[in-house]
Amino acid sequence: MNIIILGYGKMGKIIGEIAETRGHSILAKIDENNRETLNDLDLSKVDVAIEFSQPEAAVTNITWCLENGIPIVSGTTGWLEHKPNIEKLAIEKGTPFFYASNFSIGVNVFFKVNQYLAKLMGETAGYQVEIEEIHHTAKKDAPSGTAITLAEGILEAQSGLKGWYLSGEAPENGQKLPIISKRIDPAPGTHIIRYQSEIDDIEISHTAHSRQGFALGAVLVAEWIPGKSGVLNMNDFLSF
């Protein structure tokens, strides 16, 4: 496959290395310093774009791909207020758009465990739930996209909760789910779900040891997406 990488930071570089070891060609490695080189590409040779940029660049990057008929795999977080418009554009253009807050296979199994536990705990009185996420200090958005996905899984299962809030930025509210965000180097990513009561605590967690799992997952999705259509996510890829 011929791939363009939009966002050539730490994740973009690992994605490029993995893609090349799997026999793919990287036609362009785009960051904020060379975006104009997209104008020189022969778009007919591009099979897919993988987008791991910054929140402020994601909408522009994804829109460009969709308008040019290039299947796009995006893992950038922090821009999701624009996602409904992007999904509408993908459908209008008939170009596949794949978004995931986390491409790690292990994390996506963790999402399912979280949903199942939330359902069980929704039927159990006396527990307060919270999410804690820890990432490296270069991560700009808080909470993480993965933490938001985990929160959505809990909120879907527990009707008594009326949304989430970032702990420290909102008053304590028993009707909302607190998310605690910490930025500590060199942590690639840890997510913890805690249910606490006067009697005991229940805790599940996922800890990433490197970015390799995220990058490999993105490349696997990029290999899968050509020929697909519509708005897609990890449930489609993994057939959960």
**pLDDT higher than 90, residue 239:** no
**pLDDT higher than 60, residue 236:** yes
Model pLDDT for residues 47-71, shown as the tens digit of each residue: 999 999 999 999 999 999 999 999 9
**Residue 32 marked as a ligand binder:** yes
**Residue 209 marked as a ligand binder:** no
Which segment of 154-158, 166-170, 189-193 scores lowest on mean pLDDT?
166-170
pLDDT mean across residues, the chain: 93
Supply the residues annotated as catalytic.
135, 139
For residue 187, the model assigns a pLDDT of 82
For residue 210, the model assigns a pLDDT of 87
From first CA to last CA, the distance across the chain in angstroms is 26
140 band by pLDDT with thresholds 50, 70 and 90: confident
Would you say domain 105-208 falls under CATH 3.40.190.10?
no
**Residue 136 marked as a ligand binder:** yes
**Residue 223 marked as a ligand binder:** no
**Residue 214 marked as a ligand binder:** no
Model pLDDT for residues 195-225, shown as the tens digit of each residue: 999 999 999 999 999 889 999 999 999 999 9
For residue 188, the model assigns a pLDDT of 79
**pLDDT higher than 60, residue 173:** no
- Domain ranges within the chain, ordered by starting residue: 2-99+212-238, 105-208
For residue 201, the model assigns a pLDDT of 98
CATH number of the structural domain 2-99+212-238: 3.40.50.720
31 band by pLDDT with thresholds 50, 70 and 90: very high
Model pLDDT for residues 3-16, shown as the tens digit of each residue: 999 999 999 999 99
135 band by pLDDT with thresholds 50, 70 and 90: very high
